[in-house]
């Protein structure tokens, strides 16, 4: 797979991001062929380099999040560092940044300046609360966005405080919206003859946009969706159950025909043929009864037997996968969801595969997250700096 065969080949992306949202957005671009130049502070670089599990002093997450990117160190408080950034942006297609609103403006890199410098530039701005509104200047991480956007309120059990998901889902969803917005802006630029524009993504809005029917349900009925644990009121049966051997399984049998097959496979023809349970509204009205029946059946059998019988009846179900489960699962393996890569010392390791799967122009992971400033010479050389000039930039603290 060469860069020329990837769908974003020829695009130049400059990343001014740290940690999760901005870097995840640019990672997607890099996987599908864009040249991504990640600008980092010479003083340690992206803090993600030191987050979670470290291998030889560097985060394993970093090697995934920064794959296919080029690392350029720039001191943006140094005039020469700022000039280098402007030179990069002069012919870039996309700028991805997740500073607090106002930071770039203080550096003299507001949208008016950048648009005049490069009218074709698309600027993706990821922040806690967006570039406008009374909260725009406040700091906001993904956890705050998940809370304000409604996700945390409905996550957990009704008799306990809200809980978080096990990953920084708010940042990742915001990153996806950022990429979607960038691609729409590029289409407008290329197909409609438009200019570059700003893609403004607020973390709380990225989550809010995923909240399904929450808004009309409150507006029309005054209904506030609450925490409901593992069940989904209004959609029955769909929940998590525990097997005889203490393992957990998600069963989604809320389709009318699926429910009937499910009841038949567990020996409850009376429920399968009950007219009152033939549609979802009737089942939801008797959900406690149905979940009791399902709990008892699942709890009487080992997990593998439950999965086998549900598979025979074509009832959607899955064990609750751990990473260990995934590593040997035939579906994960068949879909190439684990890629073999090498750490800097030569040690082999696996990292997540590429999503989505494109049939003709698939993405790939060509190298892992680089060392800090690994591409300084290459990137600066492409801008016309010779070895002496680069050495001087380093000596003066610009890079």
158 Cβ contact list (under 8 Å, min separation 6): 226, 227, 228, 229
Fold agreement between 3-210+336-395 and 238-319: no
Q: How much is the pLDDT for 335? A: 98
Q: Which tens digits make up the pLDDT trace of 125-135?
A: 999 999 999 99
Question: Is residue 76 within 8 Å of 104, Cβ to Cβ?
Answer: no
What CATH number does domain 3-210+336-395 carry, 3.40.50.10540, 3.40.50.300, 3.30.70.20, 3.30.365.10?
3.40.50.10540
Q: How much is the pLDDT for 4? A: 60
In which residue ranges of the chain is pLDDT below 70?
1-4
Q: How much is the pLDDT for 5? A: 85
Question: Is residue 123 within 8 Å of 15, Cβ to Cβ?
Answer: no
Rounded to whole angstroms, how far apart are CA atoms 56 and 46? 17
Active-site option among 46, 93, 171, 284: 171
Q: Is 234 left (phi over 0), alpha (psi -120 to 50) or beta?
A: left
- Assess whether 270 carries a catalytic annotation: no
Rounded to whole angstroms, how far apart are CA atoms 281 and 274? 13
Rounded to whole angstroms, how far apart are CA atoms 287 and 57? 51
Q: Which two tokens stand for residue 138?
A: 């406040």
Rounded to whole angstroms, how far apart are CA atoms 285 and 228? 15
Question: Is residue 38 within 8 Å of 72, Cβ to Cβ?
Answer: yes
**Sign, Cα dihedral of 388, 392, 393, 395:** positive
> What CATH number does the domain located at 238-319 have?
3.30.1540.10
Q: How much is the pLDDT for 232? A: 86
Q: How much is the pLDDT for 15? A: 98
Q: Which tens digits make up the pLDDT trace of 302-357?
A: 999 999 999 999 999 999 999 999 999 999 999 999 999 999 999 999 999 999 99
State how beta strands 35-40 and 248-252 pair: unpaired
Tell me the pTM. 0.94
Q: How many CB atoms are located within 10 Å of the residue 240 CB?
A: 13
DSSP string, 83-138: HHHHHHHTT-SEEEE-SPTTHHHHTT--HHHHHHH-TT-EEEEEESS-SSSTTTTS
Annotated domain spans of the chain: 3-210+336-395, 238-319
């Amino acid at each position: 797979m060469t860069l020329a065969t990837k769908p974003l080949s020829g695009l130049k992306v400059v990343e001014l991001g740290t940690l999760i949202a901005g870097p995840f957005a640019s990672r997607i671009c890099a996987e599908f062929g864009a040249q991504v130049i990640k600008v980092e502070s010479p003083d340690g670089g992206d803090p993600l380099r030191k987050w979670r599990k470290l291998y030889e002093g560097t985060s394993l997450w970093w090697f995934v999040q920064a794959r296919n990117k080029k690392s350029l160190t720039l001191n943006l408080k140094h005039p020469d560092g700022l000039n280098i950034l402007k030179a990069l942006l002069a012919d870039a297609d996309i700028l991805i940044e997740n500073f607090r609103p106002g930071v770039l403006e203080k550096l003299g890199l507001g949208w008016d300046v950048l648009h005049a410098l490069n009218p074709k530039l698309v600027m993706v701005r990821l922040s806690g609360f967006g570039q406008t509104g009374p909260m725009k200047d406040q700091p906001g991480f993904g956890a705050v966005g998940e809370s304000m956007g409604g996700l945390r309120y409905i996550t957990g059990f009704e008799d306990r405080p809200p809980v978080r998901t096990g990953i920084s889902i708010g940042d990742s969803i915001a990153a996806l919206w950022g990429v979607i917005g960038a691609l729409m802006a590029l289409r407008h630029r290329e197909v409609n003859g438009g200019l570059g524009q700003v893609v403004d993504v607020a973390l709380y809005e990225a989550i809010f946009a995923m909240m399904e029917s929450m808004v009309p349900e409150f507006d029309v009925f005054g209904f506030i969706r609450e925490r409901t644990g593992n069940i989904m009121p209004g959609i029955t049966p769909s929940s998590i159950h525990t097997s005889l051997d203490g393992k957990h399984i998600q069963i989604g049998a809320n389709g009318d025909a699926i429910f009937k097959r499910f009841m038949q496979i567990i020996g409850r023809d009376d429920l399968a043929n009950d007219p009152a349970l033939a549609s979802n509204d009737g089942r939801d009205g008797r959900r406690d009864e149905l979940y009791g029946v399902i709990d008892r059946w699942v709890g009487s059998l080992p997990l593998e037997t439950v999965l086998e019988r549900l598979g025979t009846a074509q009832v959607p179900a899955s064990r609750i996968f751990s990473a260990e489960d995934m590593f040997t699962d035939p579906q994960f393996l068949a879909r190439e969801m684990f890629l073999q890569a090498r750490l800097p010392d030569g040690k082999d390791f696996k990292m997540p595969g590429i999503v989505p799967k494109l049939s003709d122009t698939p993405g790939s992971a060509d190298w892992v997250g680089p060392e800090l400033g690994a591409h300084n010479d290459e990137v600066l050389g492409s801008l016309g700096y010779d070895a002496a000039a680069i050495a001087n930039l380093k000596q003066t603290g610009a890079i």
